[in-house]
Structure 1
Amino acid sequence: MSTTSPMVTEYVVLVDDEGRAVGTSPKATVHTDRTPLHLAFSCYVFDSRGNVLITQRAGHKKTWPSVTTNSCCGHPAPDEDLGKAVVRRVNQELGIVVEAMRLLLPDFRYRAVMDDGTVENELCPVFGALYDGPAPVPNPDEVSRAEWIPWAEFVRFVDEGGAVSPWCREQLPHLRALGDEPSQWQTGRPEDLPEAARYLLDQA
């Protein structure tokens, strides 16, 4: 008798322009040339020396394969706490457990179109997290490479036209507006999150 577990269908939360949940859609099929607005998140992982963990997306990803981007992105499951979803996804993609996580950009939203017409269309709150543990172990299904670089060096790379994901490029000006030193950035207000987002973690 086979012991193989059945595939579990993952769902994303669909939202309206006001950030209210209006339904769900299978994650595997939501990204098309008519992708509906849905809930996501981005995370920038820093160490105590001011470095940021930059990743390269796996080459077989449906959207922006092999592109350089921030530490981690993902989608909360329906009814999943958004902060816990970030912790879960960082661990799944990079094999690490982040701490001292905080909300940075509660209302970030973007839309981007790939050359083949595939659309990303997300309400995407942005988080920062601290990690000083062992080296990350990227999951090859999601990430082909991960490296630590000084935050200022990454900012210069993007400013000078370095190729990064469209969401990362759009997030950078908002993050830079928070100040030059990530450890001193002001924490965003949970009440500014989309209504569909649940953020219950301690922000201390």
Structure 2
Amino acid sequence: MEQVVLLDEAGQAIGTADKATVHHEQTPLHLAFSSYVFDEQNRFLLTRRALSKRTWPGVWTNSCCGHPAPGEAIRDAVIRRLKTELGLDVDTIELVLPSFRYRVAMPDGVVENEMCPVYRVTVSDEPKPDPAEVEEFEWVAWPPVRKLSPWAELQLPQLNALGPDPRNWPAGDPSALPPAAN
């Protein structure tokens, strides 16, 4: 069973929980990541979450999100989930928003509550999505103009503040990651 890393307010690991049961009306703070994938033409990979997902089914969002397993380096988790969800091999990966955090509730009351560092990733192959994870995808120009998931909507202004061209976004400071991500 997949586990998530539970966090205290300082970002220290305080335990684990089953991913399948952690998201509810009182979701505890836990460690996650978001990734924004770009190809060689600097197009952004937009994905639509599978309709069977527990949280935000069918919603368009950033390329890939996930949770590092207990003891797994967060960069390794990004690489693992991109391979699992989208069949992608990573060419480059770089931290861009080390301290992003959010809490949002779905209309049914289920809450996402995450410390969620954000990564820029480049790939050179085409996605082969797992239908249990990704309903569909599109390569689009940056910035995307479609309404996206609540966390992506919160991340976009911060990413755009880094500059108009994702290739030139400065790397984030790894020392600003939640302690549990190091």
| TM interval, short-chain normalised | over 0.9
Partner of 1:173: 157
* Residue number among 132, 137, 154 corresponding to 1:146 in the alignment: 137
Aligned identity (percent) is 53
Query: 1 CA distance for matches of 2:140 and 2:148?
Result: 15
* Mapping for residues 43-58 of structure 1, pairs under 5 Å: 43-58=35-50
Partner Cα distance (2:90, 2:62) in 1: 15
Paired residue secondary structure (1:151):
coil
* Letter paired with 1:137: K
Q: Secondary structure of 1:23's match?
A: strand
Q: CA deviation at 1:146?
A: 1.2
Task: Give, as a single letter, the amino acid of the residue that structure 2 aligns with 1:142.
Answer: E
Q: TM-score, normalised by structure 1?
A: 0.88
| Higher radius of gyration, 1 or 2 | 1
Cα distance in 1, alignment partners of residues 83 and 138 from structure 2: 16
Residue of structure 2 in register with 1:68 after alignment: 60
Q: Which stretches of structure 1, 4 residues or more, deviate above 4 A after TM superposition? A: none
For residues 186 and 173 of structure 1, the distance between their equivalents in structure 2, rounded to whole angstroms, comes to 15
Report the TM-score when normalising by structure 2.
0.98
After superposition, residues 17-36 of structure 1 pair within 5 angstroms as 17-36=9-28
Aligned partner letter, 2:91? E
In the TM superposition, what are the counterparts of 1:7-156 in structure 2 within 5 Å?
Answer: 9-133=1-125, 135-152=126-143, 154=144
State the distance in 1 between where 2:83 and 2:38 align: 15
Kindly state the Cα deviation for residue 80 of structure 1 after the two structures are TM-superposed: 0.3
What are the Cα deviations for residues 140-191 of structure 1, in whole angstroms up to 9, with x where unaligned?
0000101111113x1xx1xxxx431000000000000000000001000110
Q: Secondary structure at the match of 1:191?
A: helix
Between the aligned partners of 2:151 and 2:17, the Cα distance in structure 1 is: 21
Cα distance in 1 for partners of 2:121, 2:52 equals 27
- Is 2:91–2:124's contact at 8 Å kept on the other side of the alignment? no
Paired residue type of 1:10: E
Q: Show structure 2 runs of 5+ residues with no match.
A: none
Q: Which residue of 1 aligns with 2:147?
A: 163
Deviation at residue 54 of structure 1 after TM alignment: 0.3
1:187 maps to what in 2?
Answer: 171
